[in-house]
């Protein structure tokens, strides 16, 4: 593609909106109506090409989510669907959409209408100015519960402390050019944490701020347990700092053992309060036992990732696609 063709693509790109879905039947009608209205406005104003579309990725939903997607696709509009053979988790479903959906530019976002749709034109403006990746960043978290806000902000800070690169208050609302997407395709990681992985691509990036709204309908599909699991996966996938902490813990334990030995010796020599063998056996045994179990757990987590990665199993299987952009129905 020569320079003139690249400039033309950036001026009038084919846009794809990629939305992973899991049991979203309650919110999907409103989401579809708003996204279709947005695409119609942008097509009319000449911001995007006429064949821009919406790509829902059904991550093994148990409700009527896929039936709704299929019905919208049959109407011949902008909606297309990708159905996974079973539930593979948000990150794998999102990757499937990014790797499957056509388009010059893809924007990933959630289906619950918490992501502000009105910043999409601003994201495209940044793309036209040369950015290959545009991150949507939350400007504030005043609508989150205290626990969720505290956990999220602490996690971003802890992630940075661990030496891994991540954008503060950015989740998975972002724009990626076709060039960035094809580079992402070269990564073959089994344990996905896209918000950190995409930063490894390089290229020119920019950010756009937005205020996250309340969920329109339904309940969150990301309870605390899944949030903690994703957080731990991100840390263990992008930094070996926990392993280095074990070395530090070993040094600290050694120093503590010396101090404890000095204290036990002082009690034995200068007082009559010492119980023979207690201080020198019981305290070090429990302390060292706890440190060893923690160390084994961290080693085991990294070893498990190596084991699972060595099997090279597919991250997802596409069962069905629908919509005119796929040439289906």
Which pLDDT does position 65 carry in this prediction?
94
Q: What is the pLDDT of residue 39?
A: 94
Q: Which residue's entry shows tokens 């002082």?
A: 266
What interhelical angle do 224-238 and 241-270 show, nearest 10? 100
In this predicted structure, what is the pLDDT of residue 238?
Answer: 62
Model pLDDT, residue 303: 72
Q: Tell me, what's the pLDDT at 43?
A: 93
The pLDDT of residue 236 is 64
In the chain, which ranges are continuous DSSP H helix? 3-11, 28-44, 65-74, 90-100, 120-128, 146-161, 178-184, 194-197, 224-238, 241-270, 278-311
Phi-psi region of 224 (alpha: psi -120 to 50; beta: other; left: phi over 0): alpha
Nearest to 107, CA basis, from 172, 59, 170, 12: 172
Strands 79-84 and 53-58, by their bridges, are parallel
The length of the chain is: 329
Q: What is the pLDDT of residue 310?
A: 67
Report yes or no: 213 and 113 within 8 Å, Cβ to Cβ: yes
The token pair at 298 is 């961290």
For the chain of 329 residues, list the mean pLDDT of each consecutive stretch of 10: 63 92 92 94 92 94 93 91 91 92 94 90 93 89 66 71 74 92 87 82 90 67 62 65 66 68 69 62 66 70 67 79 78
For residue 77, the model assigns a pLDDT of 85
CA distance 121 to 38: 10
Topology (CATH level 3) of domain 7-239+315-326: Spore Coat Polysaccharide Biosynthesis Protein SpsA; Chain A (3.90.550)
Q: 216 with 209: CB under 8 angstroms?
A: no
Alpha carbons 231 and 119: distance in angstroms, whole number = 27
Nearest to 109 by CA among 231, 199, 27: 27
How far is 54 from 50, CA to CA, in rounded Å? 12
List of residues 6+ apart from 263 with CB closer than 8 A: 279
What's the confidence (pLDDT) of residue 106? 97
């Amino acid at each position: 593609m020569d320079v003139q063709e690249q400039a033309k693509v950036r001026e009038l790109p084919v846009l794809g909106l990629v939305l992973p879905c899991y049991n979203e039947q309650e919110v999907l009608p409103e989401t579809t109506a708003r996204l279709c209205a947005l695409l119609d406005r942008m097509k009319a104003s000449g911001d995007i090409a006429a064949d821009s579309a919406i790509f829902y990725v059904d991550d093994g939903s148990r409700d009527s989510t896929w039936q709704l997607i299929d019905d919208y696709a049959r109407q011949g509009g902008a909606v297309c669907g990708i159905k996974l053979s079973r539930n593979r988790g948000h990150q794998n479903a999102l990757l499937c959409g990014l790797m499957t959906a056509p388009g010059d530019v893809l924007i990933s976002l959630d289906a619950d209408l918490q992501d502000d749709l009105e910043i999409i034109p601003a994201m495209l403006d940044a793309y036209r100015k040369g950015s290959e990746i545009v991150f949507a960043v939350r400007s504030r978290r005043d609508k989150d519960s205290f626990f969720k806000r505290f956990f999220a902000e602490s996690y971003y800070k802890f992630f940075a402390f661990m030496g891994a690169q991540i954008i503060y208050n950015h989740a998975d609302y972002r724009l990626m050019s076709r060039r960035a997407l094809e580079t992402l395709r070269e990564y073959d990681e089994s344990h996905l944490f896209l918000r950190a992985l995409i930063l490894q691509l390089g290229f020119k990036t920019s950010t756009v701020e937005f205020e996250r709204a309340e969920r329109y309908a339904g309940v969150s599909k990301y309870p605390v347990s899944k949030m903690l699991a994703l957080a731990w996966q991100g840390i263990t996938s992008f930094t070996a700092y926990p392993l280095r902490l074990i070395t530090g813990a070993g040094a600290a334990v050694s120093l503590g053992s010396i101090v404890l030995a000095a204290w036990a010796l002082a009690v034995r020599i200068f007082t009559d309060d010492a119980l023979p063998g207690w201080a020198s056996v019981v305290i070090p045994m429990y302390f060292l036992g706890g440190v060893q179990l923690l160390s084994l757990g961290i080693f085991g987590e990294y070893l498990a990732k190596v084991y699972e990665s060595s099997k090279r199993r597919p991250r997802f299987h596409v069962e069905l696609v629908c919509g005119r952009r796929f040439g289906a129905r």
